[in-house]
């Protein structure tokens, strides 16, 4: 297979905004009387905002209207935005810039497939917006991960076939999304957790585009 593009997730791959999401969701969960810890937070990785909110609310006994749910999600996002407002290039994870640059130097296209509607804000703070050929607008994605829509959208806008793409993810739902799209999946994290990935690396410091080109 000749690969023509690499499509990256953002949170947990290029930068660690996962902790900020955790703090924001924990504050909201405590507000609605739902226990929330790091273990439960793992279930939210790769899931969009409303999907994450529904998982949290399902643990409680109260019922909410759609309007109330939207208000809660908006409240969580406002807190999250406060937390990420201080981000800088220092918040890039090890190997991130090198991985992006190596893909560019190899002549492949680069896409971003993050379910975060704050992705562009984060990329701007990190100073790496110009390293991507296409950034998926999560607000225009109807179905979140593990549905393949976001990765298929990225491939289409990059002008390549899904099977010509490598997807890079740190979440189970993300890896499932990549595989459902018909792409090669590189997992970043624990091999036992990301068992559905074609390859698992500890971080982007171990990512080598040369492995896929030879």
Under 8 Å between Cβ of 21 and 9: no
pLDDT of residue 136: 97
What's the mean pLDDT in 111-125? Answer: 93
Answer whether residue 193 shows pLDDT above 90.
yes
Q: What is the residue whose two structure tokens read 């793992």?
A: 42
pLDDT digits (tens, 9 = 90+) for 24-65: 999 999 999 999 999 999 888 778 889 999 999 999 999 999
The annotated binding site for substrate is made up of: 9-11, 25, 44-49, 52, 76, 114-118, 145
The annotated binding site is made up of: 9-11, 25, 44-49, 52, 76, 114-118, 145, 169-170
Instruction: Please indicate whether residue 147 is annotated as part of the active site.
Output: no
pLDDT digits (tens, 9 = 90+) for 4-24: 999 999 999 999 987 888 999
CB atoms within 10 A of CB 40: 17
Diameter over CA atoms, the chain: 56
198 CB-near residues (< 8 Å, 6+ apart): 184, 185, 186
pLDDT of residue 52: 94
What's the mean pLDDT in 135-157? Answer: 96
Instruction: Please indicate whether residue 9 is annotated as part of the active site.
Output: yes
* Rounded Cα–Cα distance for residues 149 and 86 (Å): 31
* Average confidence score pLDDT of the chain: 94
pLDDT digits (tens, 9 = 90+) for 82-107: 988 889 999 999 999 999 999 999 99
Under 8 Å between Cβ of 108 and 4: yes
Under 8 Å between Cβ of 75 and 28: yes
Q: Which residue has the higher pLDDT, 120 or 18?
A: 120
pLDDT of residue 116: 87
The annotated binding site for Mg(2+) is made up of: 9, 11, 169-170
Which one is catalytic: 11, 37, 101, 211? 11
Answer whether residue 164 shows pLDDT above 90.
yes
Cα dihedral 154, 156, 158, 164, rounded to 10, equals: 90
What's the mean pLDDT in 166-182? Answer: 96
∠ CA(116), CA(91), CA(54), 5° rounding? 25
Domains of the chain: 5-16+89-213 (3.40.50.1000), 18-84 (1.10.150.240)
Give the SS3 label for residue 88: coil
* Rounded Cα–Cα distance for residues 172 and 42 (Å): 9
- Look up residue 85 and give its two tokens: 């407002």
């Amino acid at each position: 297979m000749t690969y023509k593009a690499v499509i990256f997730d953002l949170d947990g791959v290029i930068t660690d905004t996962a902790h900020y999401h955790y703090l924001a969701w924990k504050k909201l969960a405590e507000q609605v009387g739902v226990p929330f810890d790091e273990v439960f937070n793992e279930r939210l990785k790769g899931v969009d905002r409303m999907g994450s909110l529904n998982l949290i609310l399902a643990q409680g006994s109260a019922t909410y209207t759609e309007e109330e749910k939207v208000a809660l999600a908006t409240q969580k996002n406002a807190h999250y935005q406060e937390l990420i407002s201080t981000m800088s290039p220092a918040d890039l994870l090890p190997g991130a810039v090198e991985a992006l640059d190596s893909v560019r130097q190899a002549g492949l296209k680069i896409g971003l497939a993050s379910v975060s509607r704050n992705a562009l804000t984060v990329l701007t703070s990190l100073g790496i917006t110009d390293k991507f050929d296409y950034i998926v607008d999560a607000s225009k994605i109807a179905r979140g991960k593990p549905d393949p829509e976001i990765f298929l959208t990225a491939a289409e806008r990059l002008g390549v076939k899904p099977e010509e793409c490598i997807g890079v993810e740190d979440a189970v739902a993300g890896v499932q999304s990549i595989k459902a799209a018909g792409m090669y999946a590189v997992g970043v994290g624990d091999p036992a957790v990301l068992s559905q990935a074609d390859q698992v690396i500890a971080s982007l410091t171990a990512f080598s585009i040369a492995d896929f080109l030879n």
